[in-house]
Structure formats: structure tokens, C-alpha cells
Amino acid sequence: MSTPHNQAQKGDIAKVVLMPGDPLRAKFIAETFLTDTVCYNTTRNMFGYTGKYNNISVSVQGSGMGMPSMGIYSYELFNEYDVDCIIRIGTAGAISENVKLKDIVFGQAACTDSNYANQYKLSGTYAPVASYDVLEKAVSIARKKGFPYHVGNILSSDVFYSSTESLKRWGSMNVLAVEMESAALYMNAAKAGKKALCITTISDCPLIGLSTSATERQTAFTNMMEVALETAINYQNI
């Protein structure tokens, strides 16, 4: 079985999938952290790999940028490939002044300016949230490792080049960081009865003009990767 976006067959993909937005970050993780690695997807260059981390099967696949792309890939993983849990491992821009460059931010919930939830025909505003048990495990791992982290509300925006004024308004509501995929992931997980978590590393601080390089975003955020991988292999105990 394959889809228009994924050439994998049933059984090629592990029950837990790590999803960076950048497919080259997926490639880096597969080559750096996994053993016995098999590439199961190259369609549209959205690389997907399954391998072993501490002898436990884990998959990693790119999601692309934005909620439409995340929506497609996470929907197919949950509904066509029987994936139980997706852990997004992405980058984000700090909104809160307490969040620093290269800190980890766990998305407990995801605000959004997207109309993604309109497909569900709900009578109110849906609040997309992480799976608490997966969040709790990931936070405990980060704490034990001594990594700097924050847990709270994030913003999944359809707009990359947001105005400073807009970001400040979200920050005034205690939103920690802005990214572009998590709300769609959380909604797809909820609809499918599956689990999801967003873990991001702060790649830039747009309100004060700080940023990391493209190479750093692809390969240097290993604290986040380690937390996600250890959460993935502990999934059966969550």
C-alpha cells in the first residue's frame, strides 16, 4: 500500500514517528542516531526512515512547512499506516522574553490563526492540545538531562513573516513561541484517536533580532532530538 505522498508499505513505519519539518533534518537524525536504517520514502523528497534506537524501532520523516503539509503527512501516518504517536521536532521563534535562543519549548497547546478546524464543522472554537502522557514523559527526560526547557502555549501560524505587533499581542497572552505545524498535528491526532506532541527548539528570537543559521537548524539541535528519541522508545511505558 502506498499513498500519493508516501511510497511506504504497511509495516515499513514504526508505531512512533518523529517529524521534523525539514526532510534533511530527518536524514540527519536517521544517519546520526539510528542503526539498521531503511529509507521507506523519497516521494517529493520528503524523506522517511525506519531504524533502531537502543534496539527499538523508531521512524523519522519530514512533514514539510505549514499546516496543510503537516495535515497531509500526519493524516496518512495515523490513518493509512497505523502510526500510534507522532512527535513533531521542529524550530520555533521565541515570543516570550523568558524564552532564549536554543531553548526547548514543549507545546502543551497550540493556538492558531489557521482555519484548519473548519473541516470538522464544530459549533465553537476548538483548542488543540498535546497528549499529556507523552508530554509528561518528554518533559521528565529533558529535566533529567538538565536541558533548558519551557512548557506552555505555542502559536501555529499560517504566516511566516508576521508583524512584530502581532507577535507581541500573542505574547501578551502568555504564548511562548510561534511555529507553523502543531495545531494541525494535534487536530489530526484527536480526530484519529492517536497521540501527538510538539517539541521545538528556539531557532530565532524575532522580537530582538536573534537567529541561528540554516545549518544549525538542520543538524545542531540535538538536545531536542535526544529527548524525542528517548520519549519514542519509552512509548510502550506511557
Kindly give the confidence (pLDDT) of every residue in the chain, 238 residues in length, as a single tens digit, with 9 standing for 90 and above.
Answer: 789 999 999 999 999 999 999 999 999 999 999 999 999 999 999 999 999 999 999 999 999 999 999 999 999 999 999 999 999 999 999 999 999 999 999 999 999 999 999 999 999 999 999 999 999 999 999 999 999 999 999 999 999 999 999 999 999 999 999 999 999 999 999 999 999 999 999 999 999 998 888 888 877 799 999 999 999 999 877 7
pLDDT reported for residue 129: 98
Cα–Cα distance measured from residue 10 to residue 77, given in angstroms and rounded to the nearest whole number: 10
Question: What H or E segment, with its residue span, contains residue 224?
Answer: helix 222-233
Angle 16-180-30 (CA atoms, 0-180°, nearest 5)?
35
Q: Which domains does the chain have, with CATH numbers?
A: 16-237 (3.40.50.1580)
Instruction: Give the global pTM.
Output: 0.96
204 is catalytic: yes
- Annotated catalytic residue within 12, 22, 103, 204: 204
Question: What H or E segment, with its residue span, contains residue 211?
Answer: strand 210-211
**DSSP line for 26-85:** HHHHHHHH-EEEEEEE-GGG--EEEEEETTEEEEEE---SSHHHHHHHHHHHHHTS---E
Residue 208, SS3 per DSSP: coil
pLDDT reported for residue 217: 81
DSSP 235: G
pLDDT reported for residue 216: 84
Question: What H or E segment, with its residue span, contains residue 90?
Answer: strand 85-94
| Separation in Å, CA 183 to CA 140, 196, 208, 232 | 23, 10, 25, 20
Residue 108, SS3 per DSSP: strand
Q: Are strands 16-19 and 56-61 parallel, antiparallel or unpaired?
A: parallel
pLDDT reported for residue 172: 97
